[in-house]
């Protein structure tokens, strides 16, 4: 007798994944000008210093998590991308938590998103879980007050570490205002607004997940010029130690200084007829100042004389003020 057998894997309960686009029923394809304006492809200038800030946050947050949980924590920066605010929030898999925070000196807002895997790993670690392989609940459910409180603590810690990484750019304070379980209640910008997203993966003993920090470009506009700078050395911005070393080496460079006794226009016939012992009369008197050059660049004028049985010159102009006209 033949018959279909039930696949145990297919009958096992799976975590429910809900996407905001499916909830809204937005399945109509975009066309024409609307498709261009709402395209997922964002073209935005690269911000090298923002990448440095996000890299520095990795070290800060990893240390903070190890101190908080006493576990072996591995934090990695997965990517820094430019997205549209609405597209990113709409593609977040639920259940997730959304932390709305304010950057107080700039009077602007940002969002921290935490996926379910990291939420359960944080709760398990802070409540003294047994470790090992941590599993998520089979069915999607709302988070309890205790779970949201524990995650809020970790999110605020991450914001403090991000603010610390921003110190060399600007002194900022980032404060968590509220935690939401729906992306609709964390809408801090228009859906079409561009934003920078830094995604981090966190690996803990037997579990982990991903959290992302979303900063609309309007939020970081006050420090945009500084974020456009390139990273040099270990410090942010200008490296004063390297600059001092370069200046010292340049000042010790040896150059050739030429003193021009005079110039005279001669025909090629006269030049070819020059012989040893012939005198060439110049249009300068012994008291006139001579021209001083370095590498073909005029530096100033000087008087010729003698010092310690050597021919010497005494500068008649200040070369720091440029060649006199």
Name residue 200's beta-bridge partners.
77, 211
Ordered domains of the chain (ranges, CATH): 14-240 (3.40.1550.10), 256-321 (2.30.330.10)
What secondary structure, in 3-state letters, does 300-312 show?
EEEEEEEECCEEE
pLDDT score for 317 = 87
pLDDT score for 239 = 64
CB atoms within 10 A of CB 47: 21
Confidence grade of residue 4 (pLDDT, cut at 50, 70, 90): very low
pLDDT score for 12 = 40
CB 255 within 8 A of CB 294: yes
pLDDT score for 287 = 83
Examine the pLDDT at 52 and tell me if it is beyond 70: yes
Examine the pLDDT at 37 and tell me if it is beyond 70: no
pTM exceeds 0.95 for this model: no
Confidence grade of residue 29 (pLDDT, cut at 50, 70, 90): low
**181-195, 226-240, 291-305: which range is least confident on average?**
226-240
Average predicted confidence (pLDDT) for the chain: 82
Q: Which one has a higher pLDDT value, 37 or 166?
A: 166
81-134 residue pLDDT tens: 999 999 999 999 989 999 999 998 898 999 999 999 999 999 998 887 655 555
Confidence grade of residue 195 (pLDDT, cut at 50, 70, 90): very high
Confidence grade of residue 24 (pLDDT, cut at 50, 70, 90): very low
Instruction: Write phi, then psi, for 214 (nearest 5 degrees).
Output: -110, 120
Closest CA to 223 of 48, 15, 10, 28: 48
Using alpha carbons only, give the angle 282, 287, 289 rounded to the nearest 5 degrees: 80
> CA dihedral in degrees (131, 135, 140, 142; nearest 10)?
0
pLDDT score for 15 = 41
237-262 residue pLDDT tens: 556 788 888 888 888 889 899 988 88
Cα gap 155→33, rounded to integer Å: 39
**4-13, 177-186, 207-216, 287-296: which range is least confident on average?**
4-13
pLDDT score for 234 = 44
Examine the pLDDT at 6 and tell me if it is beyond 70: no
pLDDT score for 158 = 97
H-run or E-run covering 50: helix 48-69
pLDDT score for 201 = 96
Using alpha carbons only, give the angle 62, 67, 68 rounded to the nearest 5 degrees: 95
Cα gap 16→127, rounded to integer Å: 25
H-run or E-run covering 270: helix 268-272
H-run or E-run covering 109: strand 108-115
Q: Residue 127 carries which DSSP code?
A: T
Cα gap 199→201, rounded to integer Å: 7
pLDDT score for 51 = 92
Confidence grade of residue 13 (pLDDT, cut at 50, 70, 90): very low
CA Rg value for the chain? 35
Give the distance between the most distant pair of CA atoms in the chain.
Answer: 126
Confidence grade of residue 288 (pLDDT, cut at 50, 70, 90): confident
pLDDT score for 273 = 92
pLDDT score for 162 = 96
């Amino acid at each position: 007798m033949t018959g279909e057998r039930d696949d145990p894997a297919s009958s096992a309960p799976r975590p429910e994944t809900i996407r905001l686009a499916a909830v809204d029923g937005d399945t109509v394809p975009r066309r024409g000008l609307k498709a261009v304006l709402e395209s997922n492809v964002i073209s935005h200038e690269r911000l090298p210093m923002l990448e440095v800030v996000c890299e520095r946050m990795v070290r800060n947050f990893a240390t903070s998590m190890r101190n908080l949980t006493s576990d072996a924590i591995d934090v990695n920066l997965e990517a820094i991308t430019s997205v549209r605010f609405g597209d990113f929030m709409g593609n977040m898999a639920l259940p997730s938590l959304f932390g709305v925070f304010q950057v107080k000196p700039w009077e602007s807002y940002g969002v921290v998103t935490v996926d379910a895997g990291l939420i359960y790993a944080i709760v398990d670690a802070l409540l003294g879980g047994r470790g090992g392989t941590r599993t998520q609940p089979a069915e999607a459910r709302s988070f309890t007050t205790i779970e949201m409180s524990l995650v809020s603590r970790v999110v605020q810690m991450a914001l403090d570490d991000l603010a610390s990484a921003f110190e060399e750019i600007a002194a900022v304070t980032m404060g968590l205002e509220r935690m939401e379980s729906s992306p609709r209640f964390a809408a801090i910008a228009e859906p079409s607004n561009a934003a920078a997203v830094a995604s981090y993966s966190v690996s803990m003993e037997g579990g982990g997940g991903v959290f992302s920090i979303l900063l609309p470009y309007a939020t970081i506009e006050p420090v945009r010029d500084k974020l456009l700078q390139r990273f040099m050395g270990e410090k942010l911005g200008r490296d004063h130690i390297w600059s001092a070393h370069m200046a010292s080496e340049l000042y010790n460079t040896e150059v050739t200084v030429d003193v021009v006794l005079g110039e005279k226009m001669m025909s090629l016939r006269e030049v070819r007829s020059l012989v040893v012992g012939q005198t060439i009369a110049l249009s300068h008197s012994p008291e006139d100042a001579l021209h001083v050059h370095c590498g073909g660049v005029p530096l100033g004028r000087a008087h010729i004389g003698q010092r310690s049985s050597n021919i010497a010159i005494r500068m008649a102009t200040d070369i720091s003020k440029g060649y006199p006209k």
